[in-house]
Structures are given as structure tokens and as C-alpha cells.
Amino acid sequence: MYSIIITYAALLDDKMSSEKNKIKYERLVDVYQALDSTTKRLEKTEILSDFFSDIHPKLLPIVTLMALGRVFPVWSEEELGIGSKLLMKAISSVVGVTSEEVEDQVRDQGDIGAASEVLFKKRMQTTFFSQPLTIEMVYNNLRKISSVSGNRAQSRKMNIIRELLSLASPLEAKYITRTILEELRVGVGEGTIRDAISQAFGVKKEVLDRAHMLTNDLGLVAQVTMEEGEQGLKKLTLKPGKPVKPMLAQLAPGIKESIAEMGRAYCETKYDGIRVQIHRKGSEVMVFTRRLENISNAVPDIIEYIENALPHQNFIVEGEIIVTKDGKPISFQYILQRVRRKYDIEKVMEEVPLTLYLFDVLYFNEPLIDAPLERRRDVLESIVKLSENKIQLSRQVKVTMENVEDAEYLFTDSLNKGHEGIMIKDPNEPYIPGIRGKKMLKFKAEPESLDLVVVGGTYGKGKRAHFIGSYLMALSDQSGDLKTIAHVATGLDDKTLLELSQRMDEIIQESKGRKVKVKPHIILEIAYSEIVKSPEYESGYSLRFPVVKRIRDDLSLDDIDTVARVESMFKG
């Protein structure tokens, strides 16, 4: 009898757990609405904290992703692959209007989510029976979209979207459509999510930050925090197959000053290429960009080099991919086109051969992230078989103030060979993902520049009416909000202007006359002559004579420059 009671109790617990796991999607929509109603980060943190603390642990990884407006982590190879045109077609089918009417509404509302809400309120078609959407149902159905391929793939993807939207209320449709295009627009970033997890489960921010830094998986971090607390978080570590954010460099004030402050330094050539993180997990080799995008399929030659040059043991190494022609590196933009290519890769491999320079190792059979650079470099040198035209180690000199001229020579010689300058690294320091600090510096000969994100633009006149000829640029403040700093209208040829204008058309959120507001996605490196105080822009600063130096498709929003950095540069 006792065992029957125990069994019944266990079944009851499972049922209650299962029911708690089935939370209506409208509850997440209420959270989205609350987040959208405030601009204050502390209030957003409170809203998310209350929500997270009342969610089943198995559902936490899902809601942390969906709170960021994502279905897959940024480093995942999986993607929905749904464009706005296809989504508008699905909306028109469910609502019972033409695609043109959907487009008109999107144009009027400035956003596909707001347009969906309006259209669904006027909905002409109804389903014979309806069941409430759950968070799991929405998430799982969206995930299904990425696995659809082959014959009639677009039609089958449309069916999945229509199935979801046919069960959605106007507000649910608003956020489902935004999630599909990854344009949630509720003002929440990873920092807010981390703070909310910390507050919800009473764990120290520094412990949570380190766990996130090592795993780059907020869903996992949230679940472990809820189930195991700080002790569980401290067990999380770096693992091949899951990329981490790269350690970032500050600008060096000068070669001598930097080496004097460090005492001794490792100085390396700074290559102007694509920074990559290469993982081996079992028999699989994966190549990630600094934005954590998996580009393995685009660089089979790099994977072949790695197979031949490194041991068939689990590792994470870091390096830079460049292309040389006649002994000198060629344009950074040309390399980007090469590694982003999806078709005819074998043909391009012959035309644009890649060289990989390795400069760090983060894992080799065990995590090395906390080991000093000196030891990490020794490990790297011991495991790599060099190949003159394929894989090399970054050129390096070990320097103190007694032989500082070796660093100066390396700098000059690197420039003469077509590279950017040098890196100056403290050999005693660990690897700190995602942090820009004084223990790794870069020294370049070119004028100062900033990495900024495009938030708006203005179309030209006359023959240039189809170009966006002026770009409104922004950087981030301490809370992660974007603040404008300059308009830039020079530095791009007509071909690049047309390409950028076409890309901007796909991310327009609002239009007014010739001016547009866009989703912050395109990052440009902007050179300038001087930083000046200016009430015209939200940052309080402006750039004199700004010029577009290049498009930075290798960077993400997390990598753009900050108001704090501009302030420090302005103060000298």
C-alpha cells in the first residue's frame, strides 16, 4: 500500500511539473509588453526576474533565448531563414488580405509586429476550433522551420508559420512575427538577462558573469543557477564546440609606454584579416568568427589545414585568416566575401587561397583559459605543425625595456609587409573572454577610428535617389542603449553604396520622407580627424570629417565602441 501511495505521489509530481512546464504563450507576451512599456533597465530587470523565478527549470533555457528575441543561440548553425516577404505572405494568408495590404500596413506601422497586431484585430478568417498557444509550442514549431529542406521547403515552412499564426491573438501575432525576424524590439540585451537571473535566484553577479563568459549559453546558466545555485555555476567551464566571446584589445598609447607599464611583453604582428576561433570536438572541426558565427562550410580548406597541422584531440585555438597576393595581404572586404560564400566554394578556394596565423590556445584536453599567456603560447607552439603557405604561428618577439627596439622593428616591418601594426600582450595574464582591458593592446599607424552601428540614413537626390547616401551612426552607453554620434556620407564607392542601400532596405523600421530608421545591424568602421562636444547627437559628442573606412561584418553589436571610450579619448 505504501509503495502505491509513493507511486501515485510521484505521478502527481510529474503531472504538476508537466503542467508548470506548459505555460501559455500569452504570459510571455505580457512580459514583452511590460518590457516595452519602460526604458529603465532596473525595471526591465525586475520584470524578467519575477518571470524567471516562477518558470519551470526545463523551460528556462527557452524563455531566456526568447526574451532576447532568438530561437537559436548566436553561435548555432541553425537558422530560420525566413525573410520579411515570405512572412508577409503567410500573414496575408491567415488574415485574409493581399500581400500588398500587409506591405502597406508594415509601411504605415514601421514594423511587421505592429502591423500584424493591427491586421489580426481586423481578421476575416477564423478557425473552427482553437487551442491556446504555449511557450513550448511556439518555440518548438519555430525550431522546426530550420530543419525543413528539400522539395517544397518554402511551402512547408509557410505551413508551420500559418499553423502558429492561425492560433494567435493579435498581440501574440505581434511577437511571433517579430521573433521570426529576430526583431523583438523590447530593449533587452544579454546584460539585462544576466542581471535578472542574478536577482531571481540570489547569486553573485561575478559568479554568474564568469559562468556565462565560459559557456556563452545564458539558457544553461539560468537553468543551473535555479537548480544548483553558485556551486553549480562554478562547475561550468569551457567546452569545445561552444564558442566564447574573444578577448578584446585596447589602443596602446605607444610602444615604449605600453612595454614599460607591463614590464615585459609579447609583441605580435597584427594581421588585417578575419579573427577566428577553431574548435575540435571528437572528429568534428568547427570554425567560428569573432561574432561566433559558424563558417565551417565556407572554409573547408582551413579545416583541412587544421586536420593536418594539429593533433586529433579536443582543442580550441584562435587565429587570423588572411589572403595574400604577390606576397602581400589583400583587402579585408575581399576576405569577408570569401568566407561568407555559400556556393562554388571549391572554385573560389583556388582563386582566393587562405592562410591561417594562430596566436592562442584556450583548450587542449583541458581548459587553459586561466593559464597565463606565456604557458598558452608554449602549448600552442608544441602542438602545431607549421606549413609555410597554409598555417603559421603569429610572428612574435619577447620584449622588455632593454630590447624595446625589437618591438619597434617588428612594428615597422609588419607595416612594410602590408599588415596593420602590432599587438602588445602581457605574458602573465589569463584569457578573459569579452573583456577589453589593458593587458592586451593594439598599436596601429593609421588614424584613429571607431566601430559604430548604423541606426538610420537619408536617401540622396536626383541620380542618387536610390542610394542611401548619408548614414546616422551610434555607439553604446553604459546600460547598452544606443546613442547617436555622427552622420557620415563619404568613403564609399557607388557599388558599395548600392550594396549597403539594398541591405538597409531589408532592415528599415520607419520611413519619413527621405529619412529612414533601421534595425541596428550594420557596423561600419569610421575614421575621423577629431572628437568634439556636440548637443546635436545623443552621445553629447560628434566626429569631425568622418569617413567610412570599411564595413565590419565580422563584428556584432557587442563589439561596437562606447560613449565611455569616446569620453576618455576626448579628455586625452
Q: What is the 3-state secondary structure (H, E, C) of 7-60?
A: HHHHHHHHHHHHHHHCCEHHHHHHHHHHHHCCCCHHHHHHHHHHHHCCCCHHHH
**Same-domain pairing of 433 and 482:** no
pLDDT of residue 17: 43
In the predicted model, what is the mean pLDDT of residues 416-427?
93
The residues with which 486 forms a beta bridge, in sequence order, are 473
**Same-domain pairing of 519 and 499:** yes
291 falls within a domain: yes
**Same-domain pairing of 537 and 475:** yes
pLDDT of residue 21: 59
- CATH number for the domain harbouring residue 118: 1.10.3260.10
Task: Flag whether pLDDT at 49 surpasses 90.
Answer: yes
Q: Pick from 407, 429, 444: which residue ends a domain?
A: 444
Q: Pick from 444, 470, 489: which residue ends a domain?
A: 444
Give the global pTM: 0.78
- Greatest alpha-carbon pair distance for the chain in Å reads 88
How many structural domains compose the chain? Answer: 4
In the predicted model, what is the mean pLDDT of residues 179-190?
88
Task: Flag whether pLDDT at 451 surpasses 90.
Answer: yes
Does residue 425 contact residue 265 with C-beta atoms inside 8 Å? Answer: yes
**Same-domain pairing of 55 and 100:** no
pLDDT of residue 387: 80
Q: How many CA atoms lie within 13 A of 255 on its CB side?
A: 22
In the predicted model, what is the mean pLDDT of residues 443-465?
84
pLDDT of residue 2: 40
150 falls within a domain: yes
75 falls within a domain: no
Residue owning grid cell 525566413? 82
**Same-domain pairing of 295 and 426:** yes
Predicted confidence (pLDDT) per residue in 505-532, tens digit: 888 888 888 888 888 989 999 988 888 8
**Same-domain pairing of 435 and 553:** no
**Same-domain pairing of 330 and 414:** yes
Does residue 547 contact residue 528 with C-beta atoms inside 8 Å? Answer: yes
Task: Flag whether pLDDT at 129 surpasses 70.
Answer: no
What is the grid cell recorded at 436? 577589453
pLDDT of residue 6: 41
CA-only gyration radius of the chain, Å: 26
pLDDT of residue 90: 93
Task: Flag whether pLDDT at 4 surpasses 90.
Answer: no
Based on the residue annotation, tell me whether 439 is a catalytic residue of this protein.
Answer: no
Task: Flag whether pLDDT at 116 surpasses 70.
Answer: yes
Task: Flag whether pLDDT at 545 surpasses 70.
Answer: yes
pLDDT of residue 13: 43
Which domain does 545 fall in, by range? 449-570
In the predicted model, what is the mean pLDDT of residues 163-167?
93
Residue 201: pLDDT band (50, 70, 90) is very high
In the predicted model, what is the mean pLDDT of residues 186-208?
92
The residues with which 393 forms a beta bridge, in sequence order, are 358
389 falls within a domain: yes
473 vs 456: CA distance, rounded Å: 7
In the predicted model, what is the mean pLDDT of residues 19-33?
86
538 vs 40: CA distance, rounded Å: 17
Kindly report the three-state secondary structure assignment for every residue of 343-385: CCHHHHHHHCCCEEEEEEEEEECCECCCCCHHHHHHHHHHHCC
**Same-domain pairing of 49 and 93:** no
65 vs 333: CA distance, rounded Å: 31
Task: Flag whether pLDDT at 39 surpasses 80.
Answer: yes
244 falls within a domain: no
59 falls within a domain: yes
- CATH number for the domain harbouring residue 352: 3.30.470.30
In the predicted model, what is the mean pLDDT of residues 498-507?
85
What is the residue-averaged pLDDT of the chain? 87
Task: Flag whether pLDDT at 334 surpasses 90.
Answer: no
455 vs 445: CA distance, rounded Å: 29
In the predicted model, what is the mean pLDDT of residues 311-338?
83
Residue 427 DSSP code: T
- CATH number for the domain harbouring residue 472: 2.40.50.140
In the predicted model, what is the mean pLDDT of residues 387-403?
91
pLDDT of residue 130: 66
**Same-domain pairing of 281 and 396:** yes
pLDDT of residue 509: 80
In the predicted model, what is the mean pLDDT of residues 21-50?
92
pLDDT of residue 1: 43
Residue 48, C-beta contacts closer than 8 angstroms, at least 6 positions apart: 31, 35, 67, 188, 192, 193, 196, 200
Closest CA to 90 of 77, 79, 80, 75: 80
pLDDT of residue 14: 43
**Same-domain pairing of 368 and 484:** no
**Same-domain pairing of 353 and 429:** yes
Predicted confidence (pLDDT) per residue in 471-491, tens digit: 999 999 877 789 999 999 888
CA angle, 472 as apex, 469 and 478 as ends, to 5°?
160
Task: Flag whether pLDDT at 8 surpasses 50.
Answer: no
Q: Pick from 414, 444, 474: which residue ends a domain?
A: 444
Residue owning grid cell 511551402? 155
Residue 124: pLDDT band (50, 70, 90) is low
Task: Flag whether pLDDT at 431 surpasses 90.
Answer: yes
4 falls within a domain: no
Residue 187: pLDDT band (50, 70, 90) is confident
8 falls within a domain: no
- Catalytic residue (choose from 44, 270, 444, 549): 270
Task: Flag whether pLDDT at 128 surpasses 50.
Answer: no
**Same-domain pairing of 265 and 325:** yes
Better-predicted residue by pLDDT, 69 or 327: 69
Task: Flag whether pLDDT at 198 surpasses 70.
Answer: yes
Predicted confidence (pLDDT) per residue in 278-314, tens digit: 999 999 999 999 888 888 988 999 999 999 999 999 9
